[in-house]
Structure 1
Amino acid sequence: MIPNCPPRACVLPALLLIGLGAAPAQAQSAGGNRAAISGPVDPNADTGRDTITIGGGIAVVPSYEGSNNYVIVPAAAIRGRVSGFNFASRGTVLSVDVLRDRSTHGLDIQFGPVVNVNFNRVGRRVDQRVRQLDGRKVAFEAGGYFGIAKTGVFTSPYDTLGASVTVLADTTGIHNSYTITPTVNYGTPLSRKAYVGVSLSGTWAGDGYARSYFTVSAPESLRSGLPVFTNARGGFKNYNVSALGTYSLTGDLRHGLGLYVVGSYSRLQGDFARSPIVSVAGSPNQFVGAIGLGYTF
């Protein structure tokens, strides 16, 4: 899912959860704040200014999509704006807004390309039964997104409500399928130093995605002891709720060092939840947590 980053706004997105194949559906966060709400701050003071935020930390993630075992992985993220064009990483997704910042009355239209690296079932399969199943190669996915965001909605002139739709398709023949993810998010600054955001999303996945990552063939069943499950079909894959909190350690959210905390809950649906790698060896309930530091230049 791609964040709705309003002009001159997007605080560090959710951390890049390295090694999590399901990160596009699980590593969620909201957008950012335009300016601080306390003190004599001009909300348009950063108009046109190039900026970049880089961050790193650690994340706790499922060992594969549908696992009930969790692993600790390194995390990193980047976002920025160059010459009015925004870019950001979210999970293992990188997006670029090719529409230059020209918001009118707090309304921002977003559109651009998206790429993703899907590591699902490539490694880190903790469960011994799932480790007996055939592994998967890394899938490179590409697509695009369209979004709209409004600044100054509920709590102040600087809170932001946004919605977007992201479409990704496999380009490497690993699952030969697609995902479609609509997202709604809301974020607001609490002070010059603090910001919170929430996000709600869902993902629709194609038949190829379901077959590649959630079926259990007869030979795999003999090796692993899991039931045969060969008729997995695509459809509504999961819904996700997530939250982001950030606190400036140097006094201003717009620049300097900040502490970031991300939490996410996702629940698998349909054949994705009925698959033995989830219903027997794992869980449809998926959690992600991350903490890190970021610096905005």
Structure 2
Amino acid sequence: MIDRRLLLSAATLLIASAAPAFAQSAPPAPADNDQIAADFNKDSVTVGIGGAYLPDYDGSNEYRFVPAPAAIGSVKGFNFSVIGNRASIDLIPNRPGQSIDLQFGPIGVINFDRSSIKNIDDVRVRALGKRSTALELGGYIGIGKTGVITSPYDKISVSVSYRKGVTGAHNSGIWQPSFTYLTPLSRKAAVGILASAQHVGQGYADTYFSITPTQSLASGLPTYAARSGWKNYSVGGFATYSLTGNLLHGVKVVAGGTYSRSLGDFSYAPIVRIAGSPNQWLGAVGLAYTF
């Protein structure tokens, strides 16, 4: 099963592996500048695979290992990503030499949370029954700035996305603001930090966090009526190091982790407060290759 937590782990891996675009902090010799500029402006694709250690479900205190695949690329200045169960494309092309990156495009997510209860260890949560797989479609806007703090190649990005369930699983809207900062340490290494939060609608709250009287009898958990609002926030960090050549080409190792905290009604839901925990941790490590 690939779910929201796998998405986050894969996103951590791929954001780290995306760092090559900003990984030239040491001043190059004049002869190197032309080559770096040429490499920077070429089409490229990065693919990654790793392992992630993450909760069984959104709010669980039981953890397991899963694979974490992902891919990102840039073709003719158009950036795209396929990360776990999420896909997006930036419809505003980047031009050589620009320092401001305007972002706008569609996004799609397949939400597998609790759609396979065999991967959930807690018998009470399993007794609540599985959820239908949700397809969530929407879009995002954002802006990035290169050359802001540590070098001409570090980058800050902020964005906000909105998506809505369209297959009947929850038919709810989800707002997600995000922040990312990348900085190179050398031509071989880069690090970064990220933060995000999610605001969900009533349909989402009922589907994944409310407990009906019938479900209460089956599980032993008390009834609960969750309300729409801010579901959680997440903060994390990541690092990448080139094993062959530099971060613009070849194989690199990537690693990252996040901490998430459930908020409001969601933190008091029985599947979180009684069967799980409002504090969620995630770690991932793997390899990526840039073509």
Whether the TM-score (by the shorter chain) exceeds 0.5 is yes
Q: Which amino acid aligns with 2:3?
A: L
Question: Among residues 159, 176, 180, which one is paired with 1:164 in the alignment?
Answer: 159
Aligned to 1:7: none
Q: Is the 8 A contact 2:6 2:68 kept in 1?
A: no
Q: Deviations over 1:130-168 (max 9, x none)?
A: 010021011111111111000000000000011000111
Q: Deviations over 1:100-137 (max 9, x none)?
A: 11266511101111011101111221111101002101
Question: Among residues 111, 129, 146, which one is paired with 1:118 in the alignment?
Answer: 111
Percent of aligned positions with the same letter in both sequences? 46
Q: 1:25 to 1:173 in 2, by over 3 A?
A: farther
User: What's the secondary structure of 2:207's corresponding residue?
Assistant: helix
* 2:9 corresponds to 1:19: no
Question: Among residues 178, 186, 189, which one is paired with 1:183 in the alignment?
Answer: 178
Q: Distance in 1 between matches of 2:175 and 2:10?
A: 15
Q: Deviations over 1:29-80 (max 9, x none)?
A: 4563424222434353334411111111111111000000011111111000
Aligned to 1:286: 280
Q: Is the 8 A contact 2:57 2:113 kept in 1?
A: yes
Question: Among residues 22, 27, 40, which one is paired with 1:34 in the alignment?
Answer: 22
Q: Is the 8 A contact 1:103 1:109 kept in 2?
A: no
Q: Which amino acid aligns with 2:109?
A: N
* 2:122 corresponds to 1:127: yes
Q: Deviations over 1:157-214 (max 9, x none)?
A: 0000110001111111100101101111111010010010101111111111000000
Q: Which runs of 4+ in 1 moved over 3 A?
A: 21-31
Q: Is the 8 A contact 2:10 2:70 kept in 1?
A: no
Aligned to 1:138: 133
Matches within 5 A, 1:272-283: 272-283=266-277
Q: Distance in 2 between matches of 1:83 and 1:185?
A: 23
Q: Distance in 2 between matches of 1:27 and 1:281?
A: 26
Matches within 5 A, 1:37-56: 37-38=25-26, 39-40=28-29, 41-42=32-33, 43-56=36-49
Q: Which amino acid aligns with 1:282?
A: G
Q: Distance in 2 between matches of 1:26 and 1:208?
A: 25
Q: Which amino acid aligns with 2:288?
A: G
Aligned to 2:95: 102
Q: Is the 8 A contact 1:20 1:61 kept in 2?
A: no
Cα shift at 1:26: 7.1
Question: Among residues 215, 218, 222, which one is paired with 1:223 in the alignment?
Answer: 218
Q: Which amino acid aligns with 2:282?
A: V
Q: 1:21 to 1:237 in 2, by over 3 A?
A: same
User: What's the secondary structure of 1:209's corresponding residue?
Assistant: helix
**TM-score scaled by structure 1?**
0.89
Q: Is the 8 A contact 1:22 1:118 kept in 2?
A: no
User: What's the secondary structure of 1:46's corresponding residue?
Assistant: helix
* Larger displacement relative to structure 2 (24-33 or 211-220): 24-33
Number of equivalences = 279
Q: Which amino acid aligns with 1:211?
A: D
* 2:65 corresponds to 1:82: no
* 2:196 corresponds to 1:208: no
Q: Which amino acid aligns with 1:276?
A: P
Q: Is the 8 A contact 2:133 2:169 kept in 1?
A: yes
Q: Which amino acid aligns with 1:88?
A: S
Aligned to 2:290: 296
RMSD value over aligned CA atoms? 1.7
